[in-house]
Amino acid sequence: MHVNGNYPMNIRLAVLLLTWLCANPLTQAVAEERYKLQPLQYNDPDLVVDLGVGLWAWPMPVDYNSDGLIDLLVACPDKPSNGVWYFENTGGPDKKLPVFKAGVRLGPAGHNMQVSYVHRQPRILVPGFEITDFKSSDFRQKREIYGKSNVHSAKNIRANMWRYVDYDGDGAHDIIVGVGDWSDLVWDHAYDSSGTWQNGPLHGYVYWIKNLGTDSAPEYSPLPVQLTTADGSLIDVYGWPSPNFADFDSDGDLDLVCGEFLDGFTYFENTGSRHQPKYSVGRRLIASDGHPLVMHVQMITPTAFDWTNNGQVDLIVGDEDGRVALVEHSGTVRDGMPVFHQPVYFQQQADTLKFGALATPFIVDWDKDGR
């Protein structure tokens, strides 16, 4: 390539360098790799820290390696930590709270990945699709299960959480969808000059798509039903509902626990029956310590799962900052509501440095060694 000598020297050098890099892709790749973001290592093989991924944790309890121990798959849809991460249960002396191995990335992750259990087998859904053969397909293979991925009327939705549930006890697993509607809130810029919020709240609704067929030959209703409580009001939490249907009060029917965009949980007791559910008005869950049951941060994603294997359904909950906690069922039902212990965060062998979400690091010579 000829560079006209009339151009300034710095421009001529830049053009020549660019030409050389384009002609040498290997050199370009090495240069790009050198300047990629490199996670800091703890460099302490004995250190144990909170189990976590990047921004937003979608936990999925699964015996991934078929060794009889429940591992954790955690989907992280954000950057730079995007992926489904496998945390192997080491089977340590504390079976309830083992120290997991450091996470291993198995494949890419999208938003709203949630696990269901059909005949005790894990099934992973995203809006409108099921991820199939996830152990062998790196979470890239999926099949359509419904003709549309947004069953809500509004377009401005953020949460879109799909699960299989045999909602009415007829033996066929239906689809439950939790929707976070932002139409009233819009975004976080609606305060007036006096600090008064001018828009509405977030909404978190729940839909039931009935399976008119069977599990082997499903036929889902084209008309999703928006669920209501016994007084006719819509089931509505503060966005990000992550609905979980399970027998939380041990009376033989399926109750409903929802998360939210904030940090708490809402319980809807089934006052009907297994085959004809009827849900009471939602109540905030109170923990065994008498205080509201809350996570450390927000945008929580609970998954109902009997982690302690004692017949009481616990909650495995992801936080906005990427950590995952056990919210253990105490075995007590008080005033018609299950009582859970406050969250205890799972631990892992330390790998890369993690300090919550939206961290602002400062580099300082803390130990005064000149580095």
| Domain regions of the chain by residue span | 1-36, 48-349
- Judged by DSSP in three states, 347 sits in strand
Strands, sheet with 283-284, edge to edge from the N-terminal-most edge strand: 244-246, 255-258, 266-268, 283-284
Q: Give the position of tokens 């030959």.
A: 217
Question: Which residues have C-beta within 8 Å of that of residue 285, sequence separation ≥ 6?
Answer: 257, 264, 265, 266, 267, 292, 293, 337, 338, 340
Q: Which CATH architecture has domain 48-349?
A: 5 Propeller (2.115)
Residues whose CB falls within 8 Å of the CB of residue 20, separated by 6 or more in sequence, listed in order: 27
188-243: pLDDT as tens digits: 888 999 999 999 999 999 999 999 999 999 999 999 999 999 999 999 999 999 99
CA atoms within 13 A of residue 80's CA, in its CB half-sphere: 6
Q: Is the peptide bond before 338 cis (omega within 30 degrees of 0)?
A: no
Residue 270 has a pLDDT of 98
Residue at 356: amino acid letter: G
Q: What is the pLDDT of residue 192?
A: 92
Q: Residue 367: what pLDDT? A: 87
Identify the pLDDT of residue 199: 92
Those residues of the chain that have pLDDT short of 70 are 1-35, 93
Q: Which helix (H) or strand (E) covers residue 28, if one does?
A: helix 25-34
Per-residue model confidence (pLDDT) at position 22: 61
DSSP 8-state assignment for residue 22: H
